[in-house]
Amino acid sequence: MEVIRLEALSDNYIFLLVDRQQQIAAVVDPAEAEPVLKQLAQLKAELVAIFNTHHHNDHVGGNQQLIEHFPQVTVYGGVEDRGRIPGQQVFLEQGDRVQFAGCIAEVIFVPGHTRAHIAYYFPPEKSGETGDLFCGDTLFSGGCGRLFEGTPTQMVDSLSKLRSLPDDTRIWCAHEYTLGNLQFALTVDGNNADLQRRFNEVKTYRSRGEATIPSLLGMEKRTNPFLRWDQPSLQSTVKGSDGVQTFARIREMKNNF
């Protein structure tokens, strides 16, 4: 399974999963259809699946047009998004499995950003290879999504599930927010040497117009404050009495950054 990153809207990423042998593809969170259709035409590939993480329009905006071009496509999403994702046919829960190109992904229920958000985790096929996590707006490179429909407790539980995955998991999140996220991270975790180095690297990448996605989960664990709510230094900085309060205070600070 090959992953092709497509740019969309102002800062979105769409991920096209490709099986070149069978000339089929699946797409994760098609914000709009045109970039997907253009890439599929170049590949001469048929779209067989749409994997949605949640119902927001910048993740499902291309669904209907893609369905019109590929009427046999199967549209997946979370069970609690019933009626909110265009064309949804499969309603997924925690622990369900989906398959593409001989690879099987585990569905992880990660409410917080929305009440129904899910993620798709493809574990490595062989020892030494990386896994792939398609996490929508739950976990960002250097950050996490705003809490529109969920609570801090829910989001900490959801991020805990993602944090428990192997360090070499590739994080395919849906927005190019890394530089701004790390600028904020330095305001609450400024003595973190890994974070300082990462910020300087990302600044260079973005100055050249290069994408920062995917990131690696191991790096996120060391530098992303939204995965570090249990670190005493962060708890002290934001005066959080426990992990959930620390997370909630960091999230509120980021909202106002």
Please give the annotated binding residues for Zn(2+), written as ranges.
54, 56, 58-59, 113, 137, 175
Tokens of 56: 């927001």
Q: Answer for the pair 105, 96: CB distance below 8 angstroms, yes or no.
A: no
- The catalytically annotated residue of 81, 96, 132, 175 is 175
Q: How far apart are the first and last CA of the chain?
A: 38
Residue whose structure tokens are 């250097």: 142
Single-letter residue type at 71: P
Q: Is 55 a known active-site residue?
A: no
Return the bridge partners of 170, or none.
Answer: 132, 216
Catalytic residue among 58, 81, 96, 132: 58
Catalytic pick from 29, 96, 137, 189? 137
Indicate which residue of 55, 81, 113, 132 is catalytic.
113
59 among known catalytic residues = yes
In the set 29, 55, 56, 189, the catalytic residue is 56
Catalytic hit among 29, 54, 55, 96: 54
Asked if 175 is an active-site residue, the reply is: yes
Q: Which residues carry a binding-site annotation?
A: 54, 56, 58-59, 113, 137, 175
Q: Is 56 designated active site?
A: yes
Find the catalytic residue in 29, 59, 96, 117: 59
Helix (H) or strand (E) holding 47: strand 46-51
Tokens of 235: 């708890």
- Beta-bridged to residue 98, according to DSSP, are 105
- Give 127: exposed, middle or buried? Use CB within 10 Å, 0-12, 13-18, 19+: exposed
Cβ proximity of 169 and 131 under 8 Å:
yes
CB 135 within 8 A of CB 119: yes
- What distance in Å separates the CA atoms of residue 205 and residue 85, rounded to the nearest whole number? 34
- Confirm whether 69 is a catalytic residue: no
Catalytic residue positions? 54, 56, 58-59, 113, 137, 175
